[in-house]
Amino acid sequence: MNFTDILKRNIKKLTKSDIKVIVLTIIVIVGMLMPSSYIRKEAIHGKIIKVENNEGEKRQLSRSKVKVKILNGKYKDKVIDMDNLVSDKTYHETYAKKGNEVLINIEEDNKDNIKKAYIYEVVRYKYLKGIIILFLVLLSLLGGMQGIRSVLALLITTYSVLKILIPLIMSGFNPILVSIIICIGVSILNLLIISGKNKKSLAAIIGTLGGVMVAGIIALISSNILQVIGLTDEEAQMLIYITGSPKFNFRGLLFSGILMGALGAVMDISMSIASSMKEVKINNPDISKKQLVKAGFNVGRDIMGTMANTLILAYAGGAMYTLLLISSYKLPFERMLNQDVMAAEVIQALCGSIGLIFTIPITTLAVSLIGVDKE
């Protein structure tokens, strides 16, 4: 049997629902790849074709004279000479190497001629796109149709955050209200796509929204009591300068981050409990509601420990540089916890975990009241 026969056989197995998912996935991918009006200016790409010298590699400041061929824009194919200065105190600059593709900044004079040019970033996004595509392909190949459904759900979540949530917040909309609406929409769409339109999905949606709302309420109360925003003064000032809004709702941003951070784990645990309770009911149709609820709680307890660990470790990993920076001052433990950024990280981790804990009883009770679909 050749590849064509295998492909035809698999296509025949596709249901109308599967075809809709595939078509919708393609539409979302095309939509995400389309240029957005939110992007102000195309970055100027260049390729280093020659490094003439590299002075002072072991000094505090090194200088490389490089020839760069511009790859796009009005100066496309033009070769220019520039200095690449690298300071060992920034830990961010990149030593120039022949063949590197870089992003460059060009300053023009009054006659639109190149006055000055310098390298400000090595191109990374192309390689990141490759890793993202590899991940999506592996998810689709190994997961089959369910993998494609997961890809669609992931793309919708990404699109919702990058193309809806962030632009609305940047435009001055209330981050709390926008985040709640996005979380509700993402939860409903994702769970319906992954599991279909059934009682199990409905129970998982109720559990997810309940858990996330609990996390959000506790986060809002905690951030107001503790008076934290989760940003340093420099970051806050930069955000105000870029957005041009001196009345930026920083606590709303913290709330938004907690909601979005908890959403994934809460969706996972709610669907796991709903699926497990459905299997218990199908395999034991005569089970009482009390026993079914007990089974749901048992499953939830098993998942709770690992998922709470997952959330806390994820936040700890994301805040590693902050933890190292604060620890380097050798402050007492109470002083360390008292720092705004540190307190915000603790709130994020704990509020997400508390929301996760509440998801278990909410989902369990939802399944017991709604029931399960008959196979």
Beta bridge pairs of residue 119: 104
Query: In residues, how long is the chain?
Result: 375
pLDDT, position 80? 83
188 shares its domain with 97: no
pLDDT, position 37? 47
Per DSSP, 319 falls in state T
Residue where a domain terminates, one of 123, 157, 189: 123
User: The CATH number of the domain where 208 resides is what?
Assistant: 1.20.1640
Beta bridge pairs of residue 122: 102
pLDDT, position 153? 87
257 shares its domain with 347: yes
Q: Of 275, 310, 265, nearest to 295 (Cα)? A: 275
183 found inside a domain: yes
Phi-psi sector, 56: left (phi>0), alpha (psi -120 to 50), beta: left
Q: Cβ–Cβ contacts within 10 Å for residue 6, how many?
A: 10
2 found inside a domain: no
pLDDT, position 103? 85
Q: Measure CA of the first residue to CA of the last residue in the chain; give whole Å.
A: 33
How many distinct structural domains can be found in the chain?
2
192 shares its domain with 324: yes
59 shares its domain with 206: no
Q: How far is CA 12 from CA 3, 6, 22, 142, 150, in A?
A: 14, 10, 14, 19, 21
150 found inside a domain: no
287 found inside a domain: yes
292 shares its domain with 202: yes
pLDDT, position 358? 94
pLDDT in 10s for each residue of the chain, 375 residues: 554 555 455 555 556 666 666 666 666 666 656 555 444 456 788 888 887 765 545 454 456 678 888 888 888 888 888 777 665 545 555 566 788 888 888 877 777 777 778 787 888 888 888 898 899 889 888 888 888 888 888 888 888 888 889 888 888 788 888 999 999 999 999 999 888 888 999 999 999 999 999 998 998 888 888 888 766 555 666 666 666 665 667 778 888 888 888 888 899 899 999 999 999 988 888 888 889 999 999 998 888 877 778 778 877 777 787 778 777 878 787 887 888 778 888 888 888 889 989 999 999 999 999 887 665
Rounded to whole angstroms, the Cα distance separating 365 from 345 reads 31
- What predicted TM-score, i.e. pTM, was given to this entire model? 0.76
333 shares its domain with 192: yes
Rounded to whole angstroms, the Cα distance separating 44 from 73 reads 7
pLDDT, position 38? 45
Q: In this structure, are strands 114-122 and 101-108 parallel, antiparallel, or unpaired?
A: antiparallel
Domain that holds residue 71: 44-123
User: The CATH number of the domain where 108 resides is what?
Assistant: 2.40.50
289 shares its domain with 355: yes
Cβ pair 253, 180 in contact under 8 A: no
The interaxial angle of helices 250-283 and 175-195, nearest 10 deg, is 20
pLDDT, position 32? 58
132 found inside a domain: no
